[in-house]
Amino acid sequence: MLTLYSFWRSSASYRVRLALEMKGLNYAYEPVHLTKGGGAQFSAEFRQINPQSRVPALQTETGVLTQSMAILEWLEETYPQPALLPADATGRARVRALCMIMVADVQPLQNVSVSRYLQQELGIDELRVKAFVRHWIECGLAAFEAHLAAGGAGRFCHGDQLSLADTCLVPQCYAARRYGVDPAAYPHLARVEGELQTLEAVRRAAPDRQPDAEG
């Protein structure tokens, strides 16, 4: 049995929910509220699960897994069908590079802990913190768009088959809108996201469909 420690609005949690749903896996959902009180991720109880106080964490029969990208790769290895990585090494490298644009180039800079540091330690006002976050989202979406525009995309990010790149694209589009960046400015990426949003698996993973969603 799999248990996902997740926060409805967390991009990294959302990636893992998407992979779980695309693979048709059952899992228990354990909410970890990142912003209420000091943040439930810092509780003694959750630190037993993940000492790094981050979501997602995936409880498996063999222990707790952390870091969304490591969890995605583990899901792919443990539940290979339907595959979310292409069969060829070059294709896998392309999909992983797309993932890493979101996972390493954008998301770390929109992380709530970074915004908090900029406000509290550096005295940056909220408007300029949001502009900072928007800047990195725009850089990342532009890089992702350039990859898709260069060829290789089909119905989805990698041809017509779902892939881990799709699990990283959808949450980043969601976060972009929250910060006032419209994915429609990036036509290839926006078209693929539109396709993805028609899938029931993608809808089920959406933030507002989670038990801890707020209005």
Residues in touch with a second copy (CB under 8 A)? 51-52, 60, 62-63, 65-71, 73-74, 77-78, 89-90, 92-94, 96-97, 99-101, 103-105, 107-109, 114, 117-118, 121-122, 124, 128, 131-132, 135, 143, 146-147, 150
Smallest distance from a second copy to CB 74, Å: 4
Q: Which is nearer to a second copy, 82 or 108 (CB)?
A: 108
Q: Which is nearer to a second copy, 55 or 202 (CB)?
A: 55
Question: Encoding tokens for residue 159?
Answer: 């041809």
Q: Which residues contact 63 (CB under 8 A, 6 or more apart)?
A: none
Alpha-carbon distances of 130 from 118, 135, 173, rounded to whole Å: 10, 9, 16
Alpha-carbon distances of 107 from 37, 141, 200, rounded to whole Å: 23, 11, 25
Q: Which is nearer to a second copy, 164 or 202 (CB)?
A: 164
CB atoms closer than 10 angstroms to residue 36: 9
Q: Which is nearer to a second copy, 65 or 202 (CB)?
A: 65
CA dihedral sign of residues 113, 119, 122, 127:
positive
Smallest distance from a second copy to CB 159, Å: 16
Can you tell me whether residue 188 is helix, strand or coil?
helix
Smallest distance from a second copy to CB 198, Å: 28
Smallest distance from a second copy to CB 142, Å: 9
